[in-house]
Amino acid sequence: MTKGLKTELKKRLVKTLIWPVALYGCETWTMKQQIMDKLNAFEMWVWRRMQKVSWKDKKTNEEILSLVDEERCLMKTIIKRKKDWIGHVVRGDNLLKRVLEGRMEGKKPRGRPRMGMIDDLKEGSYTEMKRRTDDRETWRAWMPRTCRRAEN
């Protein structure tokens, strides 16, 4: 009799139990480089832990990913979720849309402008992104696809 669970079952457990908890509310996160680095490290830690690979074994991340037959997809999943959510909000006309657009009365604050929730999704101008969201099929085609192996 074999010891433990098969790798495919472990991967399914990770994707159904760990990723949703880790990514709860990621649609509203402001993605800074420090946070992205920590998320990438967490993803690799999960795969290493799943395979019971110690840091002393000196295996590279690529070796671990090939061992579990996966590719990095946590950041792609976050970007996809953010774009789905932003597209949904921008298509409507409500208070949340006005808050995201930053339409505030009064003087601008001093200093460097803070990074907003949608600043990491904008490629160019906000109006270009807003125009893309009007047509759902175009918006979905523009979004990057998540990991192919993870979806299968």
Nearest-CA neighbor of 75 among 119, 24, 40, 118? 40
2 within some domain = no
Domain that holds residue 95: 76-102+116-149
Instruction: Decide which of 13 and 89 is more confident.
Output: 13
Q: What is the pLDDT of residues 81-119, one digit of tens each?
A: 888 888 888 787 777 777 776 666 677 778 877 666 666
Global pTM value:
0.70
The total of structural domains in the chain comes to 2
Is the same domain home to 89 and 31? no
145 within some domain = yes
The Cα 85–Cα 117 span in angstroms is: 11
Burial zone of 21 (CB within 10 Å; 0-12 exposed, 13-18 middle, 19+ buried) = exposed
Q: Say if residues 39 and 19 touch (Cβ distance below 8 Å).
A: no
Q: Which two tokens stand for residue 13?
A: 């457990």
27 within some domain = yes
pLDDT of residue 148: 45
**What is the number of other CB atoms lying within 10 angstroms of the CB of residue 31?**
18
Is the same domain home to 30 and 52? yes
Domain end point (choices 21, 54, 73):
73
Q: What pLDDT band is residue 27 in, cutting at 50, 70 and 90?
A: confident
